[in-house]
A and B are shown apart, each in its own frame.
Chain A
Amino acid sequence: MLEIEGLTAGYGGIEVLRDINVRLGDGELVGLLGANNAGKTTMINSLSGTVKPMAGRILFQGEDITRLTPRQRVERGIVQVPEGRLVFPEMSIRENLLLGGINSRARPQRRQQMEKVLELFPRLGERLAQHAGSLSGGEQQMLAIGRGLMADAKVLMLDEPSLGLSPLFVQYIFEIIDKLHADGLTILLVEQNLNLTLRHAQRCYVLERGQVAVEGGADAVRNDPRTKSAYLGL
C-alpha cells in the first residue's frame, strides 16, 4: 500500500531522517516507535508532504507520490491526525468535521461520511454546535480522528494519539483504532508509548536518531536489545 524507500528528510538543510525504508501492507496496523526527537513527526510529515524529502521516494499504491503536494496526497487518501490534535478551536465540531472532508474526493459524500463518524463517536454528535476549543483533550482527540476519517482515508496516520490523555481515554482511543483496523483501514500509529503500541500493532519500526534501528513483529521488537537502547539513547 505505502512504501518508503531510502527517505532522507529534514529542515533547512539539516537531515533529521536518514535512509528510511518502511512498508505498510494493505489493511495493516503498523507502529512507528521512538524516543523524543527520533524523527517520528518528521517522518509522518514527509508522508503528508508538509516536509520536503531530500532523497528517496514514497510509493502509494504503486504511484510515486514523492513530489505531490499535501493536498494531492490527502486527495489520494493519505491522511494525518496530527500530534496535539490541532482541531480548529474557534469552529464548531460540525465545521471541523466538514473541513476534514473538504478534499475533492471526499466532498461529494461527506454528509454520509459524517453520519458514520458520528456513529463511531456518539459523544461528538451530541454537541455538534459546540466550539472545538471548549472540548476536553480526549474529546478533541476523538474529533481529530473523526476529522481524519471524514477525508475518506485509505491510510490513516495517527501522531501520538495517547499524548496527554487520561488512561481511560487512552484505552477508549485504542479500542477505536482496533475497530478501524478490523474494518480494514490501513493505519500507521506513531507513538512514544512502547508497550501500548506493541499490544496493538502487527508490526513495528523503531526509530533511533533518524534511522530505523529495529523492525519486525511485536515480540521480536520487544525482545530486541536495540529497542531498549533506542529508547534510552544508549
Chain B
Amino acid sequence: MTELYQALAQGLLIGSTYGLLALGMGLVYGVSGVVNFSHGDFISLGMFMCLGLYSALSLDPYVSVIITVPVMTAIGALVYLFLIRPMVGHQFLMVVQLTLGLSLVLQNGILMVFGGQPARTPSIVESKLWILGDVVLRVPHVIAFVISFALAIGLYVMLRSTDFGRSIRAVHQNAHAAALMGIDVGRVQVLTFALGIGILALAAALLLPGTPIQPTQGLRYTVITLLVVVLGGMTNFVGIMLGGLIIGIAEAFGTIYLDGAIGLLMPYIIFVAIMLFRPQGLTWRSSK
C-alpha cells in the first residue's frame, strides 16, 4: 500500500510540471497550428543555462530563472519571427522538418558548449526530504508541484479575463475574425510562442534539482510533452494539466511496478491508444 501511495504522490508531483511543459505547446498549437519538435531541446537549453549559471556564478537554479526566463522568452520570440513565421501560410508541413532541424542545432550547440557527460546542477533543496506518514517526498518535487499549479492557474486566469488572454483564444477560435476585431494576429502568435518558451525556462529549473542532464535528452522531453498534449486534446487547458498528471502517474507506476523496458513503454502505449481511439483527447467535450 505504501508503495502505491508513494507512486501516486511522486507521479502527481512530477506530472504537474509535465502539464506545465505541455501547456506551452498546446497554446502555440492553438494559435498558430505549429507543433514544435524542438520543444524538448528548449527544455534542455533552459536546464543547461542553469548549469552554466551555476558553474560561472554558483547560482541556485531557482535563482537562475530570473535570468533564464527573460532570455528564453526573447529567444522564443526571435525563433518565431525569423524561422517559423515565414513558413506559416504556405509549406506548412515543412514546419515539422524545420523544427526538427532546430532540434539538431540546439541539441548539438549544447553538446559543443557543455560536452556530452551527464551533469548535475546542485541546489540547496536538492536532497531535502519531506516525510508524510509512510510517503517520502523530495522537496524539489513539492516545489515543482506548487509552482507548476500556481502558474497554470495564473495562465488560466490570464486566458479567461485579460484582453491578451482573450486575444489568444480569439485567434485560436477564428483567426480571420480576430483580425477583423483589430487584433494583430501575427503579434499574438509571436507573443504566445515566446510565452510558451519562457514557461519552459521555468519548468526546466523545476525539473532540474537531482536530475542528471545530458544534451541528447531533448527528444525524449519532446515526446513526453507531445504525449501530454495529445492526451489533453491538443488545446484543452484543463485536459492538458490532467494529461500531465496521468502521464506522471503512469510513469511512476511503470517504474515502480513493472521492470525495465515495459515500465518505460507504458506512457507510449497509452499515447498510441489515445491517438487511435480518442483523438479528441481524454475530455469529453472538445472545448477550445
Q: Complex formed: what's the CA distance from A158 to B167 in Å?
A: 22
Instruction: Determine if A151 is an interface residue (Cβ-Cβ < 8 Å).
Output: yes
Q: Identify A103's interface contact among B169, B174, B176, B181, CB under 8 A.
A: B181
Cβ < 8 Å to A, chain B residues 33-57: none
Q: Which of A30-38, A90-98, A111-119, A122-130 contacts B (4 or more CB under 8 A)?
A: A90-98
Instruction: Determine if A53 is an interface residue (Cβ-Cβ < 8 Å).
Output: no
Q: Which residue of B has the minimal Cβ distance to A103? A: B182
> Which interface residue of B166, B181, B287 has the most chain A CB atoms within 10 A?
B181
Q: Is the CB of B184 within 8 A of A90?
A: no
Instruction: Determine if A100 is an interface residue (Cβ-Cβ < 8 Å).
Output: yes
> Which interface residue of B167, B169, B179 has the most chain A CB atoms within 10 A?
B179
Knowing A88-B169, A89-B173, the reply to whether A102 touches B181 (Cβ < 8 A) is yes
> Which interface residue of A79, A87, A91, A151 has the most chain B CB atoms within 10 A?
A91
Knowing A95-B166, A99-B166, the reply to whether A86 touches B177 (Cβ < 8 A) is yes
Instruction: Determine if A147 is an interface residue (Cβ-Cβ < 8 Å).
Output: yes
Instruction: Determine if B288 is an interface residue (Cβ-Cβ < 8 Å).
Output: yes
Q: Which residue of A has the minimal Cβ distance to B184? A: A71
Q: Identify A69's interface contact among B166, B173, B184, CB under 8 A.
A: B184
Q: Is the CB of A48 within 8 A of B180?
A: yes
Minimal beta-carbon separation of A77 from chain B (angstroms): 10
**Chain A interface size range:** 20 to 34
Q: Complex formed: what's the CA distance from A6 to B184 in Å?
A: 27
Q: Could you tell me the dominant secondary structure of chain B's interface residues?
A: helix
Residues of A contacting B173 with CB < 8 Å?
88-91
Minimal beta-carbon separation of B47 from chain A (angstroms): 35
Minimal beta-carbon separation of A49 from chain B (angstroms): 8
The number of chain B residues with a CB under 8 A from chain A is 18
Residues of A contacting B181 with CB < 8 Å?
74, 99-100, 102-103, 147, 151
Contact with A along B155-177 (1 / 0, CB 8 A): 00000000100110110011011
Q: Complex formed: what's the CA distance from A82 to B180 in Å?
A: 8
Q: Is the CB of B182 within 8 A of A70?
A: yes
Contact with A along B62-106 (1 / 0, CB 8 A): 000000000000000000000000000000000000000000000
Instruction: Determine if B111 is an interface residue (Cβ-Cβ < 8 Å).
Output: no
Q: Is the CB of A71 within 8 A of B166?
A: no
Q: Which residue of A has the minimal Cβ distance to B287? A: A90
Q: Is the CB of B167 within 8 A of A102?
A: yes
Instruction: Determine if A75 is an interface residue (Cβ-Cβ < 8 Å).
Output: yes
Q: Identify A102's interface contact among B166, B176, B287, CB under 8 A.
A: B166
Q: Identify B169's interface contact among A82, A91, A147, CB under 8 A.
A: A91
Q: Complex formed: what's the CA distance from A5 to B92 in Å?
A: 36
Q: Is the CB of A90 within 8 A of B163?
A: no
Knowing A50-B176, A82-B177, the reply to whether A88 touches B182 (Cβ < 8 A) is no
Residues of B contacting A186 with CB < 8 Å?
none
Q: Which residue of B has the minimal Cβ distance to A75? A: B182
Q: Is the CB of A102 within 8 A of B183?
A: yes
> Which interface residue of B177, B179, B182, B288 has the most chain A CB atoms within 10 A?
B182
Q: Complex formed: what's the CA distance from A71 to B184 in Å?
A: 6
Residues of A contacting B177 with CB < 8 Å?
82, 86-88
Q: Is the CB of B163 within 8 A of A50?
A: no
Q: Is the CB of A99 within 8 A of B170?
A: yes
- What are the nearest 5 A-B pairs in CB distance? A74-B182, A103-B182, A86-B177, A90-B288, A88-B173
Q: Which residues of B contact A (CB under 8 A)?
A: 163, 166-167, 169-170, 173-174, 176-184, 287-288
A87-B177, A99-B183 known; 20 new pairs, CB 8 Å cut-off, are A48-B179, A48-B180, A50-B176, A50-B180, A70-B182, A71-B182, A73-B182, A74-B180, A74-B182, A75-B182, A80-B180, A82-B177, A89-B173, A90-B169, A99-B166, A99-B167, A99-B170, A103-B181, A103-B182, A147-B181
9 contacts between A and B (CB under 8 A): A71-B182, A79-B180, A82-B176, A91-B169, A91-B170, A91-B173, A98-B163, A99-B170, A147-B181
